[in-house]
Amino acid sequence: MQESTIAAIRFGLGLGPGQQPETAAEILASLQTEDRVAQAYPTITYERAEELSRLHKETLDALKKREPGADDAHGKIKREINLLKPETLRAVFARAMDTEAPLRERLMYFWLDHFTASTQKQPTAPFGPAYMDGAIRANITGTFADMLKAVVVHPQMLYFLDQPSSIGPGSKIGKRQGRGLNENLAREVLELHTLGVGGAYTQTDVREFAKLLTGLFVRASDGFSYRHDFAEPGAETILGETYGGAKKASLEEIFEFLDDLAIHPDTARHVAGKLVVHFVSDLPDPDLVSHVAEAWMDSGGDLMTVYAALLNHPGAWVATGLKARQPLDFLISGLRALGLSGEQVMTMDKKLWAPLIVSQLDVMGQPFMRAKGPDGWDEAAEAWINPLGLATRIRWSMTMPQKISKTLGIPLADPRSFVLTALGDAASPGLIWAVGASETESQAMGLVFASPEFNRR
Q: What is the tens place of the pLDDT at every residue in 82-117?
A: 777 778 899 999 999 999 999 999 999 999 999 998
Q: Is the pLDDT of residue 7 over 90?
A: yes
Of 46-60, 151-165, 319-333, 414-428, the one with minimum mean pLDDT is 46-60
Residue 401 is predicted with a pLDDT of: 92
Cα 48 to Cα 29: distance, rounded to the nearest angstrom: 32
Residue 372 is predicted with a pLDDT of: 85
DSSP state of 229: G
Q: Is the pLDDT of residue 227 over 80?
A: yes
Instruction: Give the pLDDT mean for 245-261.
Output: 95
The answer for residues whose C-beta is within 8 angstroms of residue 344's C-beta and 6 or more apart is: 97, 408, 410
CA distances from 96 to 227, 297, 337, 341 (A): 39, 31, 11, 9
Q: What is the CA radius of gyration of the chain?
A: 24
Cα 293 to Cα 288: distance, rounded to the nearest angstrom: 9
Q: What is the pLDDT of residues 192-205, one digit of tens each?
A: 999 999 999 999 99
| Residue 329: how many other CB atoms lie within 10 Å | 20
**Residue 424 pLDDT grade (very low, low, confident, very high; cuts 50, 70, 90):** very high
Residue 118 is predicted with a pLDDT of: 75
**Residue 126 pLDDT grade (very low, low, confident, very high; cuts 50, 70, 90):** low
Of 128-137, 379-388, 404-413, the one with minimum mean pLDDT is 128-137
- Report the share of the chain in percent with pLDDT over 90: 75
**Residue 326 pLDDT grade (very low, low, confident, very high; cuts 50, 70, 90):** very high
Instruction: Give the pLDDT mean for 418-425.
Output: 95
Q: Is the pLDDT of residue 47 over 60?
A: yes
Instruction: Give the pLDDT mean for 269-285.
Output: 97
3-class DSSP state for residue 282? coil
- Report the share of the chain in percent with pLDDT over 70: 96
Instruction: Give the pLDDT mean for 362-373.
Output: 89
Instruction: Give the pLDDT mean for 308-331.
Output: 95
**Residue 130 pLDDT grade (very low, low, confident, very high; cuts 50, 70, 90):** low
